[in-house]
Chains A and B, each alone.
Chain A
Amino acid sequence: MSAADYEVTIGLEIHVQLATRTKMFCGCETSFGDDPNTHTCPRCLGLPGSLPLPNAKAVHFGLMMGLALGSKIAPRSIFHRKNYFYPDLPKGYQISQFDEPLCDGGELGGVRLNRVHLEEDAAKLNHAGGTGRIQGSDASVVDFNRGGTPLAEIVTEPDITSAEQASEWLRLLRVTIRQLGVSDVNMEEGSLRCDANISIRPKGQAELGTKTELKNMNSFRFIERGIKAEVARQVAIVDGGGQVTGETLHFDPRTEAITSMRSKEEAHDYRYFPEPDLVPVVITPDMIEAAKAELPELPLQREDRFIALGVEPGAARTLSWRPELGDLFEAELATDGSQPKALAALITNELLKRIGDGEVTDSKAAPGSLAQLVALTAAGTVSSSGARTVLDTLFASGGDPAAIVEAEGLTAMGGGDELTPIIQAALDANPDVAEKLRTGDMKPIGVIVGFVMKETKGRADGKEVTKVTRQLLGL
């Protein structure tokens, strides 16, 4: 069988560091990039006799996430100890949530959620030996600055069926959380981390195959490539008559190799039990109201609103999934709301092309000038190709669109009279094209339009050229 004969089933577990000032269970400041071990105390070092106390802001952020993701908020939830030995965990257990999480269920972008719960982050292990890689070094240095940072863990149901969908959905989740303002969701700095549970089964088979867990992929590209590599590995095993082993895997983006991290069976024997040092977290109606009051418009809601304005769905998605583009769109629309569809198209096609991998702020276009350019185009003052030239200038140095049209001689040409001699010249220069057009085969009309655009420096309107050409040929 080939890859096409298998169905892929993916569930994601996402850890998000919450943007609180202090840690989950102590008053040490959360930090990134500070000198190691400068944000520790007896509680986050797990010293005997110290007691945890949950951060109210982390609970508040958790509630905001749960409400935004359509989860059921538990009126009372409890913390559990998740026991395992690893040097990044000073107490020998992580305080997490188990069967009574803060938020139960939910849904985002067609993918069902199992839960959202709160827990504490582990410390950071720096592996001696220079390369920074785990293998091959025999000593590690533990930095407890990160240990105890509040995390929200979001677990999806296995509703994702391809690597591409996984990466696309994660983008949606990331921008949704970013809009909520509860995390800076920076994958490079590790404030958003993703594990994927992956299995395959022959098409039509009801029961799911054995899953493997691919750990800690820290960019969208790695997630897509990692999942693809793991699916290919599983297909090869099953095709060869073998069986997939349930295990935790590590994807090396450099070599694309997948290696086993540890025996999953043993590592997952966490012996959860209720954390005796903490009382249940009771969510009052006031706390829910406070979280609701801070919910912003979410990307999917914004997308729907843009579509209702007449914006093309693809453009609406780009604008709402890149909030800074959406903000620009709305600011421009506030100056002239007459052409939402064309304005959205200008921003998501032409402006975005000029921004490339840069930032929206790279554009020097003055506020309102994009809307003005769209209005000039709609009024026929400048052709669409002329408008692109104007945008080049707006992007590079700003200015007034109408003045640029004037200064660069981009005023759109009127119809017939002005165009007729140029089109005639185009037909004369391309007799074979003229012949084909005469027979009603309009395919080579592009040659004529191209000739005219070149002659007029893009001031002509393509539709008008076609119209006049037909008139000249008596069609």
Chain B
Amino acid sequence: MIDAKQVLHVARLSRLELEPGEVEQMATELSSILGHIEQISKLDLDGVEPTMHVVPIDGGLRDDEPEPSLPIEVALSQAPKANAEGFIVPSPQA
């Protein structure tokens, strides 16, 4: 169901680098997962609401009240690369 071309496309969207062997493996595994899920389509589900949450709760809004933010040095402490102002990343356009 999933061919090598689709695997490479999704890999690129996910910024994953795959070895040629892995492409075949992923195609097989993803096809098998989708095949498993597709069994649902054999059921007659007319008039059944999709379940997006197993717990039927609604609402859950937060008042617009400020809470303390992290000190900058804590915020930046996990960054592989940072300067005094922020997280340094490779320029996406470079």
Contacts and interface: CB of A to CB of B under 8 A. Distances in A.
B64 A22 contact: yes
Contacts of B87: 37, 87, 141-142, 144
B65 A140 contact: no
A56 B14 contact: no
B70 A40 contact: yes
Nearest to A142: B87
Nearest to A143: B86
A357 interface: no
Interface in A272-323: 274, 276, 278-282
B66 A271 contact: no
A126 B82 CA distance: 13
Given A53-B61, A143-B85, A27 B67 contact: yes
22 contacts: A22-B65, A22-B66, A29-B69, A35-B72, A38-B72, A40-B69, A56-B61, A56-B64, A85-B13, A128-B91, A134-B93, A135-B93, A138-B91, A140-B91, A141-B87, A142-B88, A143-B85, A144-B75, A266-B9, A271-B13, A276-B53, A278-B60
Interface stretch (A4-12, A76-84, A197-205): A76-84
B37 to A, nearest CB: 13
Given A144-B75, A279-B53, 17 more contacts: A20-B64, A27-B62, A36-B85, A38-B69, A41-B69, A55-B64, A57-B64, A76-B58, A87-B90, A126-B85, A127-B91, A134-B93, A141-B83, A269-B9, A274-B52, A278-B60, A279-B59
The CB with the most chain A CB atoms within 10 A, among B12, B58, B76, B93, is that of B93
Contacts of A187: none
A422 interface: no
A78 B52 CA distance: 10
The 4 closest A-B pairs by CB, nearest first: A27-B67, A57-B64, A56-B61, A87-B89
Interface of B is mostly: loop
Given A21-B65, A22-B65, A282-B58, A141 B72 contact: no
A87 B60 contact: no
A85 B91 contact: no
B61 A55 contact: yes
A328 interface: no
Contact of A140 (B52, B75, B89): B89
B10 to A, nearest CB: 8
Nearest to B63: A56
B67 A41 contact: yes
Interface residues of A, number: 55
A108 interface: no
B47 interface: no
A142 B82 CA distance: 9
Given A78-B52, A141-B85, A37 B75 contact: yes
B94 interface: yes
Contact of A54 (B12, B61, B89): B61
B1 interface: no
A138 B61 contact: no
B70 to A, nearest CB: 6
B92 A86 contact: yes
A384 to B, nearest CB: 52
